[in-house]
Structure 1
Amino acid sequence: MSPAPDGWVRTAREGAVLTVTLDRPDQLNAQTPATWAALAAVGASLDDDVRVVVLRGEGRSFSAGLDRSLFGADPSTPGGLGELGRMPPEQAQERIRSYQGGFRWLRSPGIVSIAAVQGHAIGAGAQLALACDLRVLTDDASLRLPEVTLGLVPDLTGTSTLAELVGYSRALEICLTGRPVPAAEALALGMANAVVPPEGLDAAVAQLVAALTAHPVGAVRETAALVRSAVRNDPAAQDAAERAAQSRRLAELASFAEG
């Protein structure tokens, strides 16, 4: 396998909305380290005018996960599990940290990210969808974290994002069984914000994008930051964060009124 120079990732910008597409449909958008590097580069290139990032997969599946060629024990396969397994622990962890950078930016301050998920989102594919703030699924979609069945663990930010969404016990069950979570269950558990027929995915995502960009950018960004911090802050810290954010909003509104 010769990885594409762009990691099979393409982007399109329309005003405040950046669409990022996994573009390897013949392989169900299977991911490689080049994919994660390309995604990290997209995150690093964001400017302040981007308000919404839509993440999609070309073809019939969002992403079937890790490219199969990387599963072998051959240490000569660049980025393969065999190569990682033979590295000193510190080096292996640093390599994985760089891979995680392709996922974690999707909750960067200033943007709201939406995963548009059809078909399968497996392993790295599920973790990529979970890395986004919001998820719209087609009714034939399913999410699955099968790493434990392969003797591995979810290591691309998936455990923290899943536990935030569904709570400890359900996240533990999903991860330890490696079972698929179909779209209807994902909606009930809070892993999906909406479930629509496949032909309605584009319209549902467009409607959500329109709603997210309809309100003042400062208020949206401050509110998103508050909701993100609420899952980790204790009540006193969160109350303080709300006070600080509101004082900034009031000061900005006052300056507009005076101007």
Structure 2
Amino acid sequence: MTSTSFIRTELRPDGIQLLTIDRIAQYNALNIEAVQQLEYLLTQAKADVNVRGIVVTGAGSKAFVAGADINEFKLLAPSESRDFAERGQRVLQQLEDMPIPVVAAINGFALGGGCELALACHIRIASEQAQLGLPEVKLGIIPGYGGTQRLTQLVGRGRALELMLSGGSIKAGEAFRIGLVNRVVPAEQLLTVSFEILAQMIANAPFALTKVLEAVSGALAGGINGYEMEAAAFEACCHTIDFQEGVQAFVEKRPPVFTGM
């Protein structure tokens, strides 16, 4: 997989793909081209059997992604605004729907579109210096990349409304307290801990991981019976070689060797 002009990529030997948003002079703000590049890289990662999990972070120490690019906002005609929002929603939905685990390593400001990017990841690890928020109302708009939906699902209606209606930001410790992030770690340990958590996940049966992600998504989707989806996924897992290997390894008191079959 090849890095793009605004996103650096690194495939580690353990199968973890590191995606680094790299517009450091703009605090890694997402412009349209960066969103398009993210879409391309996610498509490539999904098709690459060597990619077992993904970590998303921002370049430098100040920002994960400080928002969408305001310079592009200024040029956006009202007639183009819906397409702008729907493009971002589509790409972040693609991120959330990845069949492999995705961890956001939040190394600084995660505001606006940056917070929405983190919300679309499956797990969020924040440095002690991180700040998160959806300040769009201060610009006379609202979150447009799925933030109103995902933040509410994560922290509940009241807390989500307080954050979005005030346009304020919160520090990492408060984000952890309300369930917006999974862990808070010292900045120098952020990537190490993110890699360790993801390595624990991808050591398990790949098919089972995918089915967990699908079942949890079913619990949040309207018009879908999540229990039925769970039961069907459970049955599908029971037909795999990895299931047989997992049970046999447990009986023999040894680590399982999963193949994804």
Q: TM-score, normalised by structure 2?
A: 0.84
* Coordinate RMSD, CA, aligned: 2.3
Residue 68 (structure 1) aligned to one of 62, 70, 80: 70
Give the number of equivalent residue pairs: 240
Secondary structure at 2:64's aligned position in 1? coil
Matched, 1:250 2:248: no
Alpha carbons 1:38, 1:102 under 8 Å: kept = no
Runs of 4+ more than 3 Å apart? 253-257
Mapped to 1, the partners of 2:167 and 2:69 lie a distance apart of 18
Residue 110 (structure 1) aligned to one of 99, 106, 111: 99
Q: Which residue of 1 aligns with 2:8?
A: 10
Secondary structure at 2:204's aligned position in 1? coil
1:126-165 map, 5 Å: 126-165=115-154
Q: Which letter does structure 2 place at the counterpart of 1:239?
A: Y
Deviations 1:82-116 (A, max 9, x none): xx31x2xxx54234322323322111241211110
Alpha carbons 1:141, 1:183 under 8 Å: kept = yes
Q: Which residue of 2 aligns with 1:77?
A: none
Q: Which residue of 1 aligns with 2:27?
A: 28
Mapped to 2, the partners of 1:229 and 1:30 lie a distance apart of 31
CA apart distance, 1:233: 5.7
The 1:221–1:43 alpha-carbon spacing in structure 2 relative to 1, beyond 3 Å, is: same
The 1:119–1:92 alpha-carbon spacing in structure 2 relative to 1, beyond 3 Å, is: closer
1:47-86 map, 5 Å: 47=47, 49=49, 50-60=51-61, 61-72=63-74, 80-81=75-76, 84-85=77-78
Q: Which residue of 1 aligns with 2:175?
A: 186
5+ long unaligned stretches in structure 1: 73-79
Farther-moved stretch of structure 1 (107-116 vs 189-198): 107-116
Deviations 1:132-179 (A, max 9, x none): 111100011110111011100100111111111101121111111111
CA apart distance, 1:131: 1.3
5+ long unaligned stretches in structure 2: 246-260
Q: Percent identity?
A: 31
CA apart distance, 1:52: 1.1
CA apart distance, 1:255: 9.0
Secondary structure at 2:99's aligned position in 1? coil
Q: Which residue of 2 aligns with 1:171?
A: 160
Secondary structure at 2:163's aligned position in 1? helix
